Structure 1
Amino acid sequence: MRLLTTLISTLLLSTASAQFQGFFEQMFGGQGGGHAHGNQQQQGQNAPSDSAWYRQNYEGAPCTNYLCPGTLACVHFPHHCPCAFPDQEDKVELGDGSMLCASKGGFAVGEMGRKVELARKGLL
């Protein structure tokens, strides 16, 4: 009788373990809990919230001219930097040799540039 009870208990525990194994692996990243953070980039999850990756790539980028901080493109002058998202942003070169990128401004081509000029003149 004891052997039968032990056998049934073992069978129930193995069934429960198999049933919840997927749950625990999903919940804890398959790392036995708590260790999923160090493996985030390999699993395609969110990037870490510190700037170490950016700093490493910025410091390691080969550039003898000007390294654009937003795109890490190497250009001759700061106003030659490209926008990071050209499909969604318009670029305006400012008179002081700098530039800015901002969300496309609506229906008319160049609308964002016109708004920047109005703002520079104090009219907007």
Structure 2
Amino acid sequence: MKLLSVAFLVLVHSVTFTNAFFQHMFQQQQQPQQRPVGHSAQMWQHQADAVDCSEYLCPSTLVCVSKPTDCPCPHPQDVKCVIQDEQSKKTSAGTVMCISGASGCDVLDRFSKW
């Protein structure tokens, strides 16, 4: 009985230590990164103001296009996928997503059929 009690105490302490260790490790990773507040937003706004665009200015690339679905992807290796529902098919609108990887828009097509 005494051996069982000692084994139980060792088990409880090891579980407690392991739990505390992992909590400490993950809490360290979850702390927000410090960066200058507003600096990148101000920089983006300054660049956006410098672009002469009377139609739609793409937020990620600052390219002037006639409609949001015409916006290019920000990275050349990305594939632009337009997701349309029944209403957006009538208006030739939709949601644009840029996908990285070999599967391209096939991944989105599979999810949209669920």
The TM-score with structure 2 as length reference comes to 0.54
Match 2:44 to one of 16, 39, 54: 54
* Superposed counterparts of 1:44-123, under 5 Å: 50=39, 51-87=41-77, 89-95=78-84, 96=88, 97=93, 98-104=95-101, 106=102, 111-122=103-114
Aligned length: 70
Q: Structure 1 or 2: larger helix share?
A: 2
Point out which structure has higher relative CO (alpha carbons under 8 A, 6+ apart): 2
**3-state SS of paired residue (2:97):** strand
Q: Distance in 1 between matches of 2:49 and 2:113?
A: 37
Between Structure 1 and Structure 2, whose CA radius of gyration is higher? Answer: 1
* SS of structure 2 residue aligned to 1:82: coil
Alpha-carbon RMSD: 1.9
Structure 2 gap segments, 5+ residues each: 1-35
> How far did residue 73 of structure 1 move?
0.4
Counterpart Cα distance in 1 of 2:61 and 2:52: 13
What is the aligned-residue identity percentage?
28
Find runs of 4+ consecutive structure 1 residues off by over 6 angstroms: none
TM-score by length of 1: 0.50
- Offset at residue 60 of structure 1 (A): 2.9
Q: Distance in 2 between matches of 1:69 and 1:84?
A: 10
5+ residue gaps, structure 1, are 1-47
